[in-house]
Structure 1
Amino acid sequence: MNFLSLENSCRNMTPKIITLKEKKLIGLSAEMSLLDNKTPQLWKTFRQRSKEVDHRASEDFISLQQYPSHYFERFSAGSEFVKWACVEVDEVDNIPEGMNMLLLETGLYAVFHYTGSAQNAPTFFQYIYGEWIPNSEYQLDGRPHFEVLGAKYKNNDPNSEEEVWIPIKAK
């Protein structure tokens, strides 16, 4: 997909507005920045160990970002955030060694459907943060941002599909 067709598809994109119910997640996390991106190593390690997680709620994987409160106001590619490679669980009675549990709180989310490779993702996110949110009746909320990597997710494939969950609240 070229830049122009991606830009046009973003302009026509309307997210679903969903109230997320509390979720329990188990996985690995790492502090990083866009300049010091440790995502490939984090996911490689978690994928190798994901079978250790008991009581999975689905086969989906979740890529989650916890941004500091000032992250989007003073954005810099060197700004640090916490990235999680994780899965949702129905219950937590055993957390594998070296992994942690994260409670994703109930809240409102704008859910976008993304099709494409990671290469085109910056334009997609630029649309969300630079156009959709400022022109909507919502603003960013301070809760985690995440992507649901389901059965149609194929790493670095132009036909890959995922759900992008952006935390929002009324302006």
Structure 2
Amino acid sequence: MNFRIEILPEKKLVVLTQKMSIFENKTFLLWNSFMKRKGEIQNAIGSDLFSIQIYESNYFEGFNPKKEFLKMAGLEVNSLENIPNGMEAYVLKSGKYAVFEYKGNPKSGGEAFQYIFQEWFPNSGFSLDNRPHFEILGTKYKNDSDESEEEIWIPIK
């Protein structure tokens, strides 16, 4: 899997949020709700969608599929004014990331994360930073398609 190291500039987003776990995955519900309402978002910059995960600092210590995290579906904006009801403003802070180019069916994405955390990280010289993880779903993203492409952004230090 191809990767690059990148410094993300700060980004302003309008998001919907949902607490979930791997065991009780509510990603479909979150994105279904967001996609029905994304047209309400003013001041959008482009059409790339952000899928953000915020984990507690000890989340990755001992795998527990019932451990909860916060997931966000969002769109970048140039102003955090006029946020639609039920949505939130969120600022994704600047930081260093390992960016992986994932090509394949999003339903098989678990294999990509397994590679990143079990093979790439132990040999990379980097460690995981306690900042948001996210994926950018751009124009080449195709839900339920083997031809889909997205970027996986993992915070590093």
| TM-score of the pair, normalised by structure 1 | 0.89
Residue of structure 1 in register with 2:70 after alignment: 82
Match for 2:152 among 146, 160, 164? 164
What secondary structure does 2:111 align onto? helix
Match for 1:26 among 4, 9, 14? 14
Aligned length: 157
Residue of structure 2 in register with 1:124 after alignment: 112
1:6-58 Cα offsets, whole Å, 9 max, x none, are xxxxxxx3411000010111110000001111110110010000011111111
**Per-residue deviation, 1:89:** 0.7
User: Please, which runs of 5 or more residues in structure 1 have no aligned partner?
Assistant: 1-12
What secondary structure does 1:88 align onto? strand
RMSD, matched Cα: 0.8
- Aligned counterparts, 1:5-154, within 5 A: 13-154=1-142
What secondary structure does 2:91 align onto? strand
Q: Which runs of 4+ in 1 moved over 2 A?
A: none
**Per-residue deviation, 1:74:** 2.2
Residue identity over aligned pairs, in percent, reads 49
User: Please, which runs of 5 or more residues in structure 2 have no aligned partner?
Assistant: none
- Distance in 1 of aligned mates of 2:89 and 2:125: 33
Name the amino acid aligned to 1:15: F
**Per-residue deviation, 1:118:** 2.4
What secondary structure does 1:138 align onto? coil
| TM-score of the pair, normalised by structure 2 | 0.97
- Distance in 1 of aligned mates of 2:107 and 2:53: 18
What secondary structure does 1:140 align onto? coil
